[in-house]
Amino acid sequence: MTTQALIDTHRATLEKALTAIETREYWSPYPESPRAYGEDAAAQGEAAFKARLGNPFQLDQPSTGMMDVAEYSPYGIDLGVSYPTPDIDQLIDAAQTAMNTWSRASADTRAAVCLEILDRLSKQSFEMAHAVMHTTGQAFMMAFQAGSPHALDRALEAVAYGYREMTRVPTSMRWEKPQGKRDPLVIDKEWHVRPQGVEVTIGVSTFPTWNGYPGIMASLVTGNASIIKPHPGTILPLAIFVETARAVLGEAEFDPNLVMLAVDTPDAPIAKDLVLNENVKLVDFTGGSAFGGWLENNVPQARVFTEKSGVNSVIIDSVPDLKGIMRNLTVSTSLYSGQMCTTPQNIFIPRDGITVGDDHVTFDEVVDAYTGGLAGLLGDDERASDILGSIKGDDTLGRIDDAASGGNVLLESRTVTNPTFEGATVRTPVVVGVDAVDEDAYMREMFGPVVFVVATDSTEHSLQLAERSALEHGALTWLVYSTDPDVIDSAVDSAINAGVSVAFNLEGGLYVNQSAAFSDFHATGANPAGNASLTDPAFVANRFRLVGVRKPVLS
């Protein structure tokens, strides 16, 4: 396809995305139902995934051979994929060279090429679903939706933001300043987009595409090149992305080295060497707070965008009935075994109980409704496996025992047998009761299937604790249950102070863990859970700069 044909093909989608980020209304061009992809898609995608296993993942990019990695599946299957061995200097040189033509292309051209990449990836949704499932431990349906269509939504959103920022200033115009009786000053002006430089994305083990695409696409559309260093345990999804992106770039007659993969192993990490290279000007990171914090403070030559971890809170004040909220809360605390950065961890309940409808209900009754609901939801192994997925990482397994030792175990973690993958590591959440004063136990991130029920003096006290916890340890989400308008106002005020998105009284099929591209911002960037938000203008505005040109009008 010619560049103009690509622009024409994708113009309508881009325009809809531009509208959606203004109105924040629901919209997605990538179907979230697997059925929408055609009869053969499932089998073809699975076959494509299986064909990757045990084989070298060849990418025609600068490298010094192939290397074995520490990638592994929480479902216990053998992956055995090897990847190109990176040479950092080579990669960065190649990325800089690749930017020469890309950075001078028009915003329309770059956006169209990015949208073509996303379209191709959409066609690979089943393959990507298996890749995400078997590297992250997500259950298949989540891996399908979050790994492909929802990730592509977030990618397209980032392209739209980048495009909108670049095109807000006219590419050229004539400027006239009146000079009273004298002739006006007249000059022609142009503005050119100048990318910042090489971007490095440091991927996360749990949602490599959903969290990775926005930084990559925001960088690409604004003219930069992207070097992608996946989590050493979760490589394949981003490798597939790199392969597809390179193919599309090459077909569009740009240098494929605009997108390159740089794998490493836990024994020989390369992230610091990569980001400290003086030609790296943008870094996008999703992962733990320790390395995220290091990046924020130690990479002065680059703009650093982080999504780290946090301690998310539920505040239960008053509800119309317990069943409705527990249907929602048990799911949101179970999905993917709490391995979402948006999963609630601490449930704050006044120790004197709460109002339910017209009745007073004790603290223990609320807890029983929750633990009973959770046990019921996850009682069947097959259903539990579909909700919980598998656990990625021994650290997460270890935290189940660690959490249990810090308080009163209200519901034991149960080992679940996955009916399809016998090697899968599946555990139901442990629910631990603590008193508000035991801050050491609960006021820390316990990533994984760990829920603390915290007994507080009052809802006001709950909000104070949640606010302080967010400001000190970060938080991405709050979920507040209250029938009292004053409490709701007060919770909104607390949430603004804490820089945390807050949802109220969720009972139906919308979970606090979920954020919708084009409408919800993921993270606020206003507390230690991260310094950036997916996606807002601040996420894209500094990935390029504008260079002004003034030329006298030719007479």
Residue 198 interacts with a second copy (CB under 8 A): yes or no: no
Q: Quick one: tokens of 68?
A: 């074995």
Query: Which residue among 8, 25, 40, 78 contacts a second copy (CB under 8 A)?
Result: 25
Q: Quick one: tokens of 222?
A: 């604004």
Residue 545 interacts with a second copy (CB under 8 A): yes or no: yes
Residue 36 interacts with a second copy (CB under 8 A): yes or no: no
Q: Which stretch binds a second copy (CB under 8 A): 211-219, 253-261, 447-455, 498-506?
A: 498-506
Residue 16 interacts with a second copy (CB under 8 A): yes or no: no
Query: Which residue among 189, 351, 414, 444 contacts a second copy (CB under 8 A)?
Result: 189
Residue 542 interacts with a second copy (CB under 8 A): yes or no: yes
For residue 23, the minimal CB distance to a second copy (Å) is 7
471-483 in b/e burial notation, b at 16+ Cβ within 10 A? bebbbbbbbbbbb
- Are residues 9 and 116 in contact, defined by beta-carbon separation less than 8 angstroms? yes
Whichever of 125 and 306 has its CB closer to a second copy, that residue is: 306
For residue 99, the minimal CB distance to a second copy (Å) is 11
Chain position carrying tokens 């490493």: 264
For residue 533, the minimal CB distance to a second copy (Å) is 7
Residue 170 interacts with a second copy (CB under 8 A): yes or no: yes
**Neighbouring-strand partners of residue 188:** 174, 551
Q: Quick one: tokens of 30?
A: 């990538």
Residue 95 CA to residue 201 CA, distance in Å, equals 13
Query: Which residue among 9, 16, 355, 504 contacts a second copy (CB under 8 A)?
Result: 504
For residue 142, the minimal CB distance to a second copy (Å) is 17
Give the closest residue to 535 by CA, choosing from 160, 205, 10, 220: 160
229-249 in b/e burial notation, b at 16+ Cβ within 10 A? bbbbbbbbbbbbbbbbbbbbb
**DSSP character at residue 509:** S
Residue 495 interacts with a second copy (CB under 8 A): yes or no: yes
For residue 523, the minimal CB distance to a second copy (Å) is 9
User: Binding string to a second copy for residues 41 to 80, with x set by CB under 8 A, is what?
Assistant: ----------------------------------------
For residue 49, the minimal CB distance to a second copy (Å) is 27
Residue 290 interacts with a second copy (CB under 8 A): yes or no: no
* Contacts with 352 (C-beta within 8 Å, 6 or more apart), sequence order: 363, 458
Query: Which residue among 2, 65, 177, 422 contacts a second copy (CB under 8 A)?
Result: 177
How many residues appear in the chain? 555
For residue 187, the minimal CB distance to a second copy (Å) is 6
**Neighbouring-strand partners of residue 185:** 177
Ordered alpha helix ranges (H), 345-426: 363-377, 381-388, 394-404
* Contacts with 185 (C-beta within 8 Å, 6 or more apart), sequence order: 175, 176, 177, 179
- Are residues 107 and 203 in contact, defined by beta-carbon separation less than 8 angstroms? no
- What number of helices (H) and strands (E) belong to the chain? 19, 22
Residue 233 CA to residue 433 CA, distance in Å, equals 33
Residue 289 CA to residue 309 CA, distance in Å, equals 6
Residue 94 interacts with a second copy (CB under 8 A): yes or no: no
Q: Which stretch binds a second copy (CB under 8 A): 20-28, 51-59, 201-209, 427-435?
A: 20-28
Query: Which residue among 173, 253, 360, 423 contacts a second copy (CB under 8 A)?
Result: 173
Q: Which stretch binds a second copy (CB under 8 A): 42-50, 420-428, 434-442, 541-549?
A: 541-549
Residue 196 interacts with a second copy (CB under 8 A): yes or no: yes
What's phi and psi for 370, nearest 5 deg? -70, -55
Residue 169 interacts with a second copy (CB under 8 A): yes or no: yes
Q: Quick one: tokens of 98?
A: 């690749």
For residue 539, the minimal CB distance to a second copy (Å) is 8
**Neighbouring-strand partners of residue 347:** 314, 453
- Are residues 97 and 72 in contact, defined by beta-carbon separation less than 8 angstroms? no
Q: How many residues bind a second copy (CB under 8 A)?
A: 67
Q: Which stretch binds a second copy (CB under 8 A): 81-89, 134-142, 198-206, 486-494?
A: 486-494
Whichever of 23 and 408 has its CB closer to a second copy, that residue is: 23
Whichever of 248 and 479 has its CB closer to a second copy, that residue is: 479
- Are residues 27 and 518 in contact, defined by beta-carbon separation less than 8 angstroms? yes
Q: Which stretch binds a second copy (CB under 8 A): 113-121, 166-174, 350-358, 427-435?
A: 166-174
- Are residues 278 and 463 in contact, defined by beta-carbon separation less than 8 angstroms? no
Residue 163 CA to residue 18 CA, distance in Å, equals 9
Q: Which stretch binds a second copy (CB under 8 A): 65-73, 168-176, 404-412, 428-436?
A: 168-176
Query: Which residue among 65, 267, 297, 440 contacts a second copy (CB under 8 A)?
Result: 297
Q: Which residues bind a second copy (CB under 8 A)?
A: 22-26, 103-104, 165, 168-170, 173, 175-179, 185, 187, 189-192, 194, 196, 296-297, 300, 488, 492-493, 495-497, 499-510, 516, 519-521, 524-526, 533, 536-538, 541-542, 545-552
